[in-house]
Structure 1
Amino acid sequence: MPQSSISVLLSHYIHVVMHDHNKFGEVVGEVKEMGFNLESSNFVFALNALCGKNSKSIWKRSRGVYMRWGWSENDVLSAFRKNPEFMIMSEKKIMRVMEFLVNKMGWPSGMIAKYPWVMRHSLEKRIIPRCLVVKVLWLKGLIDENLSLGYVVQPDEKLFVERFVTKYQNEVPQLWNVYQGKVEIEDV
């Protein structure tokens, strides 16, 4: 394991190494079996997700929630490899984000499995404002409906505003107000 990963482990996740030696070795083995590279920082995040208090029950609960949304076992494992920490979120948060992205926005559940780090963002501060702007642009026919979720949620605020708000300000003058939550999309 690289020094940088050990530093992260010791400075942020000391509880992980405080486990019984046998339990810790068992979890390290599980993480390796799941396909994580020991050289990757995601290895440390996976250890944290599987070594925390009640981690096995949290893992099973989260797995079940995602599978209710149509994810396969492979979807769950693939998403976990990309962003292990999305599995230790509360069931309430998972359900709220999935409900919004799938039922309100119309994104297929499988797309969320491709971008699991999206689940870690604030629903109110990042996901909803950005998605509402995108929905307005879809409804106006100004952007492609096949836009990836990552392209919408990943960029920093400045880049998002340039791509989706400023660029279309002339066609949709109320877009900035939609982004700030001052105007409902039905009023645009």
Structure 2
Amino acid sequence: LFGSFDNLLLALKKNSYLLGANLERVVKPNLSLLSEYGLGAHEISKFCLKAPTLLTVRPARVRAMAAFVEDMGIPCGKLILWHALRCFTNISKESVTAKIELLKRIFRCSEPEVIIVLSKTPALLTNSEDRMCRVSGFLFSEAGLDPAYVACHPELMTYSLEGRLMPRFYVVKFLKETGSLGQHRSYYAAVAVKEKDFVERYIQPYMEAAPHLAEDYAAACRGQGRLVPRFYVVKFLLKEKGLLGHHQSYYAAVLLKEKGFGERYIHPYMEAAPNLAIDYAAACRGSKLRFYDS
């Protein structure tokens, strides 16, 4: 089934109950179900390696999940079945229903439209409701994307907020403010590419003009460094409180050395925003951003 002993070990790491599963009453019926939906031997092997939990779930539950996927209006073809069953294994019907309602509010669309979104990206339903709200809030409020646009590119909702969406957004914003990137260059294009391609397209060509960009980006992906915290200082705390003029650029704030940034953007506003220095320092170390509450 798994093709090699190494693959079997990998599957066992993901699901230690595999060796104790009843072969005749559980494993074989589940494999037969996958065959019924048109998956070939190679596809079943790949499926079970990525989601070995399915092999130890009661066959009645697997059939119920497949029926539930179809009842939702998602056609249970090979690809959709593969993803949907993998995603729904540990999700109750009640949870799925609640998340569909949330997605209707997030995307401001109807249930049939949400079903279309889920047919493209069923992994959305594995996200917690809190994560969906935080990611969509960033995409709409900060990145300036329209809900309908995100619904057309639902994979955006599955990317890491702190490890991908935020760092890449601030790199693109920084490069646009310097004039290194044209204003027409889309954020989606920067987020969708693999890490290696992003670095080659958006970091390496600008190392001379912005020698700290690679270091700042790498730190931001770890939830540390100055790239993200400085944006929040400039935009959320200072501009929204009217302490900085809207002509102040993010580019200028990022380029400053730490001492210069503190003297220009922190110390003058300590009375109006007493938690600013503490919150900024904590955010640079990787603590959760608190600028909203300052």
* TM > 0.5 fold call: yes
- Match in the other structure for 2:99: 62
- Match in the other structure for 1:143: 182
Give the deviation of 1:43 after TM superposition: 1.8
Matched AA of 1:147: S
Matches within 5 A, 1:175-186: 175-179=213-217, 180-181=219-220, 182-183=225-226, 184-185=230-231, 186=250
Quickly say closer, same or farther: Cα 1:138–1:67, change in 2 above 3 A: farther
Give the deviation of 1:172 after TM superposition: 4.4
Query: Structure 2: how far apart are the matches of 1:75 and 1:99?
Result: 20
Match of 2:166 among 115, 120, 128: 128
TM-score, normalising length: structure 1 = 0.79
Contact 1:71 1:113 in 2 (8 A): no
Aligned-residue sequence identity (percent) comes to 25
Query: Structure 2: how far apart are the matches of 1:143 and 1:57?
Result: 46
Question: How many aligned residue pairs are there?
Answer: 183
Query: Structure 1: how far apart are the matches of 2:95 and 2:190?
Result: 29
Contact 1:70 1:109 in 2 (8 A): yes
Matches within 5 A, 1:3-22: 3-11=41-49, 12-15=51-54, 18-21=57-60
Give the deviation of 1:102 after TM superposition: 1.1
Matched AA of 2:150: I
- Match in the other structure for 1:84: 122
Give the deviation of 1:134 after TM superposition: 1.3
Runs of 5+ consecutive residues of structure 1 not aligned to the other structure: none
Give the deviation of 1:114 after TM superposition: 2.4
Contact 2:66 2:76 in 1 (8 A): no
Give the deviation of 1:4 after TM superposition: 3.0
TM-score, normalising length: structure 2 = 0.54
Matched AA of 1:143: G
Query: Structure 2: how far apart are the matches of 1:107 and 1:178?
Result: 24
Matched AA of 2:94: S
Matched AA of 2:148: G
Quickly say closer, same or farther: Cα 1:30–1:61, change in 2 above 3 A: closer
